[in-house]
């Protein structure tokens, strides 16, 4: 018999705030988190703006100086967000069977800062001067591994890597394991700290990034006709995914229930989505069907909404295909309009936005939305422009679509005892 699965803890490190409350209030207020890159000298780069995490101190999350030196920033973010999620859940790990608590935390790119420093030292000083911790700092699984070590979580421990769908697939994988009764709870989500020379140069070379360098406040503008590419962001989102009866037994606060999960592939192109959003629409339908629901029961969509032409167009067409006339009634917004694109962490921080939407009855806006381009006008979708709205959201879905054709959708619903 399948178990019911709920979310009981939320932890977020983001360009618009550290912690659930700061993050959520910033979203509702339409706060812009984009600014000039400060992590390195980007003077010669065509794209010189990003959504950087501000005022982050590992010690604030129990990571001492020695431990921090052995962690890439992406791993530091994952540990910090996990600490916030654990505190928010009020779970006492000393009372738990740690063999039944797992860790599924992914990253799209991994330890880019560590990799950059590796090659800088290697080419300047030779192989004998390479840091002996460079490999365990850099490898993609270490975000999950370090969280497992840090909190003594001895159940299933893995790292999902599906580009920009990573966070959503990670939570989906955790959902399945708890649903099958394999685990009582999972720390699940994604992390990213890729605002570094190589990653920025690489995305810029693809012409994927916004070059609105003189106006960073308005650079990330999903679905707007004047968008010119996405803006890189960084941070981490972790949710505590928990079996319902286990959560009830310990008196946990339940934000929402995970009702469905869908995942498929475009099988089309290494970066571009399949035309007309056909596979994306199938992915949304998989999640809705998995929940035993109908499209017209969905109240809100947290869109992938990257601020790129192909993504915004194909996702909008996919929504129209799945929801038909109901598509015009569904509220749709893009968290990335404020945070930038957190790559492997995007789906996780957006899942947190969905949980808070259901919890509070507020839908955050898509900022910088002035006018849709001509291809989107005919669809007549409500992208919740520029100002948050009150709404009784019983069912929300979150979309994530990654390079390589990875598609993932989670469906969240209001918990009813």
Question: In what helix (H) or strand (E) does residue 28 lie, and over which residues does it extend?
Answer: helix 20-28
The verdict on 324 and 225 lying in the same domain is no
Distance (Å, whole) CA 395 – CA 383: 17
Helix axes 346-360, 20-28, angle to 10 degrees: 80
- Number of neighbours of residue 106 by Cβ within 10 angstroms: 33
- In angstroms, the CA 281 to CA 326 distance is 14
Active-site choice (157, 164, 283, 354)? 164
- Domain with 63 in it: 5-249
Range list of H helices, 206-256:
244-249
Specify whether 116 is catalytic: no
Phi, psi for residue 191 in degrees, rounded to 5: -145, 155
Q: How many domains does the chain have?
A: 2
Residue-wise pLDDT for 328-343, tens only, equals 999 999 999 999 999 9
- Comparing 119-128, 160-169, 198-207, the range with the smallest average pLDDT is 119-128
| 255: in domain | no
Asked if residue 201 is part of any domain, the answer here is yes
Q: Are residues 230 and 268 in the same domain?
A: no
Backbone angles phi, psi at 151, to 5 degrees: -110, 0
pLDDT in tens, 212-221: 999 999 999 9
Q: What is the mean pLDDT of residues 252-268?
A: 98
263 forms beta bridges with 408
pLDDT in tens, 94-144: 999 999 999 999 999 999 999 999 999 899 999 998 989 999 999 999 999
The answer to whether residue 341 is catalytic is: yes
Among candidate residues 224, 249, 274, the one where a domain is terminated: 249
Q: Answer for the pair 158, 172: CB distance below 8 angstroms, yes or no.
A: no
Please tell me which residue in 246, 256, 283, 304 is annotated as part of the active site: 304
**279 and 237 in one domain?**
no
Q: Are residues 245 and 324 in the same domain?
A: no
Give mean pLDDT, residues 360-373: 96
Catalytic residue flag (residue 253):
no
254 assigned to some structural domain: no
Residue 352, in any domain of the structure: yes
Q: Are residues 17 and 166 in the same domain?
A: yes
In a domain, 415, yes or no: no
In a domain, 272, yes or no: yes
- Out of 156, 256, 283, 341, which one is annotated catalytic? 341
CATH for 192: 3.40.47.10
The whole-angstrom separation of Cα 259 and Cα 264 is 18
Alpha carbons 179 and 410: distance in angstroms, whole number: 14
Q: For residue 12, what are its two tokens?
A: 């977020």
Shared domain check, 347 and 305: yes
Using DSSP, state whether 15 is helix, strand or coil.
coil
């Amino acid at each position: 018999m399948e178990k019911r699965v709920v979310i009981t803890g939320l932890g977020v490190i983001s360009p618009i705030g550290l912690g659930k409350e700061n993050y959520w209030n910033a979203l509702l207020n339409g706060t812009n988190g984009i600014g000039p890159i400060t992590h390195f000298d980007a003077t010669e780069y065509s794209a010189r703006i990003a959504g950087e995490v501000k005022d982050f101190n590992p010690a604030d999350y129990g990571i001492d100086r020695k431990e921090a030196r052995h962690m890439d920033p992406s791993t530091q973010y994952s540990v910090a967000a996990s600490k916030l999620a654990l505190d928010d859940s009020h779970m006492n790990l000393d009372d738990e069977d740690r063999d039944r608590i797992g860790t599924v935390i992914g990253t799209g790119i991994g330890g880019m800062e560590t990799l950059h420093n590796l090659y800088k030292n290697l080419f300047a000083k030779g192989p004998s001067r390479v840091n002996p911790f460079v490999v365990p700092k850099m490898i993609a699984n270490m975000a999950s591994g370090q969280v497992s070590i840090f909190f003594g979580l001895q159940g299933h421990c893995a790292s999902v890597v599906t580009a920009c769908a990573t966070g959503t697939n990670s939570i989906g994988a955790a959902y399945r394991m708890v649903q099958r009764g394999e685990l009582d709870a999972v720390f699940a989500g994604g992390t990213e700290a890729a605002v570094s020379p190589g990653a920025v140069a690489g995305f810029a070379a693809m012409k994927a990034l916004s070059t609105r360098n003189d106006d960073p406040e308005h650079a990330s503008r999903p679905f707007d006709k004047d968008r010119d590419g996405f803006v890189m962001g960084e941070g981490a989102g972790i949710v505590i995914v928990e079996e319902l009866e286990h959560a009830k037994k310990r008196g946990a606060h339940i934000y929402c229930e995970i009702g469905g999960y869908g995942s498929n592939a475009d099988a089309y192109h290494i970066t571009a989505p399949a035309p007309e959003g056909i596979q994306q629409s199938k992915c949304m339908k998989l999640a809705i069907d998995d929940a035993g629901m109908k499209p017209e029961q969905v109240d809100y969509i947290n869109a992938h909404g990257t601020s790129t032409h192909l993504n915004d167009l194909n996702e909008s067409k996919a929504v129209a295909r799945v929801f038909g006339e109901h598509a015009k009634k569904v509220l749709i917004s893009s968290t990335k309009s404020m945070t930038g694109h957190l790559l492997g962490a995007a789906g996780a921080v957006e899942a947190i936005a969905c949980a808070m939407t259901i919890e509070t009855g507020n839908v955050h806006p898509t900022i910088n939305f002035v006018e849709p381009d001509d291809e989107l006008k005919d669809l007549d979708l409500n992208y919740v422009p520029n100002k948050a709205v009150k709404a009784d959201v019983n069912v929300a879905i979150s979309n994530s679509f990654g390079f390589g054709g990875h598609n993932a959708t989670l469906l969240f619903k209001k918990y009813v005892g």
